[in-house]
């Protein structure tokens, strides 16, 4: 059997389910804090767990902050993530005007 829980960020902050082995982030978290709360559902009490996060090119700015979290926790960070460059001022202004697009 496979048990699956689908929830919002609100649920990620207050619920403790034992035995969660994998967290899949479909919508990219907009902050490192949100990322930590989401993936914190897995690997509790000394157990290991897996976090899979899907993203688009529009998420790269937020991805840079999560790279820092990954490094601090001792996770292996792929080299291409370490080379991500910040968005230009123009791209940042455009991103503030509209949310990231999700390609399906």
Domains defined along the chain, listed by start: 21-97 (3.40.50.300)
- Non-local (6+) Cβ contacts of 36 within 8 A are 69
Bridge partners of 27?
none
**Both tokens of residue 90?**
């123009």
**pLDDT value at 103 more than 70:** no
Res. 99 pLDDT band, cuts 50 70 90: low
- DSSP secondary structure code for residue 59 in this structure: G
Q: For the residues 16-30, what does the mean pLDDT come to? A: 82
For 44-80, the pLDDT digits (tens) are 677 788 888 888 877 887 888 888 888 888 888 888 8
Residue with tokens 């899907």: 54
- DSSP secondary structure code for residue 74 in this structure: T
Considering the entire predicted model, what is its pTM? 0.66
Percent of all residues in the chain with a pLDDT value above 90, rounded to a whole number: 0
Of 3 and 26, which is predicted with more confidence?
26
Cα distances (angstroms) measured from residue 71 to each of 28, 81, 87, 98? 18, 11, 21, 30
């Amino acid at each position: 059997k496979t048990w699956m829980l689908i929830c919002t960020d609100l649920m990620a902050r207050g619920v403790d389910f034992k035995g969660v082995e994998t967290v899949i982030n479909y919508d990219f978290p907009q902050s490192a804090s949100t990322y930590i709360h989401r993936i914190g559902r897995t690997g509790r009490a000394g157990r290991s767990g897996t976090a899979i996060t899907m993203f688009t090119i529009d998420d790269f700015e937020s991805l840079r902050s999560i790279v820092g979290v990954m490094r601090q926790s001792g996770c292996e960070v792929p080299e291409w993530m370490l080379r991500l460059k910040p968005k230009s001022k123009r791209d940042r202004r455009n991103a503030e005007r509209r949310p990231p697009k999700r390609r399906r």
